[in-house]
Amino acid sequence: MPLVRIASPEFDVDIDIKYATADNFTGKPVYRTAGCYLHPEAAESLQKAIALAKPLGLRLLIFDTYRPTEAQWKLWEHTPDPSFLADPAKGSPHSRGVAVDLTLLTPEGQALDMGTAFDAFTPLSHHGRTDISLEAQKNRLLLMGIMTTAGWDFYRNEWWHYQLFHSRNYPLLSDAEAGTGMM
């Protein structure tokens, strides 16, 4: 099944694919070209999240979606930490096209305070933390409410990561199999 390209105007989101830049935990680009793709079922759930955020005056900012299996191996080779990265031997929901890393933006385009940066591999990134500001706690709960209402499951260690339920039921996809040309 081909992946759906996530782009305007079909998807009213902002996109900043971090692994196509040096602005990620590896300090260098992982993807040759930026790509934002999801499995059709995940794309449908993303549209629901967009619709839920809009009346609140909020937009979604996407950091990562489909991640080729080759990229998952590169990330794992850099930081083999199963608390924050899926072991590529088992497969990541990202490499199945059913996960999204994101945050919320104000109407002015400012990211809401979530208490840590994206990909901050620290316990402070876990959901349910009470040792971050009250504003960040509320913002995380707001993001979780939008995403779970739209049909996404959350990963307890990363406030930014959401995936479809039963994500392991979807096949892993290499860059060639997905046809995205990201690697």
Low-confidence ranges of the chain (pLDDT < 50): none
DSSP string, 138-167: HHHHHHHHHHHHTTEEEETTEEEEEEETTG
What's the pTM?
Answer: 0.97
| Domains located in the chain, CATH noted | 4-178 (3.30.1380.10)
Q: What is the pLDDT of residue 1?
A: 61
- Are 98 and 167 in contact by the 8 Å Cβ rule? The answer is yes
Give percent of the chain with pLDDT exceeding 90.
99
Is the backbone peptide bond immediately before 55 cis, with ω within 30 degrees of 0?
Answer: no
Which long-range contacts link 17-20 to residues 24+ away (Cβ below 8 Å)?
Answer: 17/62, 17/63, 17/64, 17/65, 18/63, 18/64, 18/101, 18/118, 18/119, 19/64, 19/67, 19/71, 19/75, 20/182
pLDDT, position 45? 98
Chain segment 131-176, per-residue pLDDT in tens: 999 999 999 999 999 999 999 999 999 999 999 999 999 999 999 9
Q: Is residue 158 annotated as part of the catalytic site, yes or no?
A: yes
The active-site residue, picked from 41, 44, 158, 177, is 158
